Amino acid sequence: MSNQFCSLKPFNTFNLDVHARHIVVAETAVELIDAWQTSQQQQQPVLLLGEGSNILFLEDFQGTVIVNRLKDIKVEESSSAWHLHIGAGENWHELVQYTLTKGFFGLENLAMIPGCVGSAPIQNIGAYGVELKNVCEYVDVLALATGEVRRLLAEECQFGYRDSVFKHQYQSGYAIVAVGLILKKHWVPITLYGDLSQLDAETVTPQQIFDAVCHMRSSKLPNPDVTGNAGSFFKNPLVDAERARSLAKNYPDIPLYPQEDNKVKLAAAWLIDRCDLKGFSVGGAAVHRQQALVLINQEQATSSDIVALAHEVRQRVGRKFNVWLEPEVRFIGASGEKDAVGVIG
């Protein structure tokens, strides 16, 4: 299905009224390839999109937006695990619900993360102590120029914090068409973060973790169907251990999460909150009052409003803590992705 000069409002959760020269909703690999190759022949920019839940369109897109809607779920059983093969266009939260009803456990901490399955490996999505890399077995990548599908095993995906090979080597000219997940039959609950820490790890069920995660997310995060947003706007910054100790001296209540390689993760929401920015607005954009990490389209915001708001948040946190936040959201200009830090300054 193809349309000319269509609104991208249904395809970005910020609900910004931006447009694309063409929109193609692809339900097969052949449609993906055809749309991409046609754009190349016409020398027009092209953007692959899932549900637009991690995107900020800076302006109208002067090319073709291809919406990936490849859907499929296959399940195989081994002696120790369930192996799921999921089409990239499947909705992530609906997949989490599906696994629970089937008795496949391990995704419950990742409930209510917006977006499609195909977007999950790009960001290495994570929440409440679980990241996609913990359950990923492989990712199937389609080379749009040749039609060849290559299967990348999890260790080849170079998963990092909100990072993967799909943001680098496989960013341009490739489309994720399927993701393979492995869910161990021996289920071990992860109850380290938030309200989950109040649950009894000895007796807790996957359903209880799912319910608690849904409650936490729905109580803190605005529904994009009601209030436009792209979830967590900034990444949680990583600093070295010495910098973390210095911050802890000045701010004894600062949350610190030790990581590998002598790094410590800080809570971006805490940093923003300590700058008294909850509810702060620029034009129609605002910092969410319940969760400081979320920037919202409060009242017919423009892209410029959101960029200006992000600039102010980054500057205030930087001046107070000497920690410089980087957007987690991808910034899309007229012809493709732009450096988000460079845009907001």
Tokens of 240: 């070295």
Q: Please confirm, yes or no, whether 2 is among the known catalytic residues.
A: no
218 is catalytic: no
Rounded to the nearest 5 degrees, what angle is found at the Cα of 292, between the Cα atoms of 291 and 294? Answer: 75
Query: Is 162 an active-site residue?
Result: yes
The Cα–Cα gap between 287 and 86 comes to 35
d(CA 68, CA 175): 9
Of 53, 69, 328, 330, which residue is the catalytic one?
A: 328
Give the active site residue among 21, 69, 162, 314. 162
Catalytic residue among 108, 232, 303, 316: 232
Q: Which amino acid is at 4?
A: Q
Which value, to the nearest 10 degrees, does the dihedral of the CA atoms of residues 159, 235, 125, 173 take?
-60
Residues 6+ apart with CB under 8 A from 124: 131, 132, 133, 159, 160, 161, 162, 163, 164
Contacts of 50 (CB under 8 A, 6+ apart): 67, 68, 88, 89, 115, 116, 118, 119
Indicate which residues carry an active-site annotation: 162, 232, 328
